[in-house]
Amino acid sequence: MVKGKQFFLACFIIFAFTGYKCTTAQNLDVDILKSINPRHPTSLYWRNTSNSAYYAIGAASFGTLIYGLASNDDIAKRNATETFISVGANVLVTHMIKLGVNRTRPADKYPNEIFVNTQTHNQSFPSGHTSLAFATATTLSLQYKKWYVTVPAFAWASSVGYSRMYLGKHYPSDVLAGAVVGMGTAWAGHWFNKKLFQQRYQNKNTPTYD
């Protein structure tokens, strides 16, 4: 029994992060999605939550940049730069994985079982909306390090992920992978930004000799 559970877990992890079609994991993926996705996914709340992934990242990046330039706030400008780097890395990595795995959308593969309000025919794995939402949440959490920023940010990102399943756009494994990619690219952007501004600060304070 233990070996069976270990096989099941390994199967699901492999499928979630590589797209390898393990039958057991695929069935679990579909079953979970069916339990979330209604026959008529028309809720405006979940549609708006899904779309908010793009609005939030725009507000976080351009809003912070405008504030930093207007007030000449170096920290705000640095945070805006970090957000742009994280978003750029996130979009690139997500797109590359989508092309590499090339997974069919659930509503295309199961047209009589998974329902959508508007059909989407591009690659399913990972979820781009979820990836972007978790990149935004992670970036904000790393920048401000306050619970009242971190908790709402990740609650919102999780809601975006759930909305993608409710709307029938993605499997649970697409959402899980999107969250991992989003957090990973945000951490990478944070690290790169620290190195970038540290180098700028060192260069600025390096004495010059005539």
Residue type, 149: V
pLDDT computed for residue 168 by the predictor: 92
Range name among 45-49, 131-135, 199-203 with the lowest pLDDT average: 199-203
Does residue 125 contact residue 180 with C-beta atoms inside 8 Å? no
Q: What is the pLDDT of residues 74-123, one digit of tens each?
A: 888 888 888 888 888 999 999 999 999 999 999 888 988 888 888 777 88
pLDDT computed for residue 67 by the predictor: 82
Burial tier of 6 (Cβ tally within 10 Å: 0-12, 13-18, 19+): exposed
Q: What is the pLDDT of residues 162-204, one digit of tens each?
A: 999 999 999 999 999 999 999 999 999 888 888 777 765 555 5
Asked whether the predicted pLDDT for residue 8 surpasses 70, the reply is no
Residues 6+ apart with CB under 8 A from 81: 193, 196, 197
Does residue 164 contact residue 43 with C-beta atoms inside 8 Å? no
Residue of 126, 139, 124 lying closest to 57 (CA atoms)? 139
pLDDT computed for residue 203 by the predictor: 53
Q: What is the mean pLDDT of the chain?
A: 83
Q: How far is CA 105 from the centre of its chain?
A: 17
Asked whether the predicted pLDDT for residue 23 surpasses 70, the reply is no
Quote the CA–CA distance of 1 and 50 in Å, as a whole number.
39
Burial tier of 41 (Cβ tally within 10 Å: 0-12, 13-18, 19+): buried
Radius of gyration of the chain (CA): 20
Q: Which domains does the chain have, with CATH numbers?
A: 2-197 (1.20.144.10)
Quote the CA–CA distance of 31 and 150 in Å, as a whole number.
31
Residue that the structure tokens 């990836």 belong to: 131
pLDDT computed for residue 155 by the predictor: 96
Asked whether the predicted pLDDT for residue 133 surpasses 90, the reply is yes
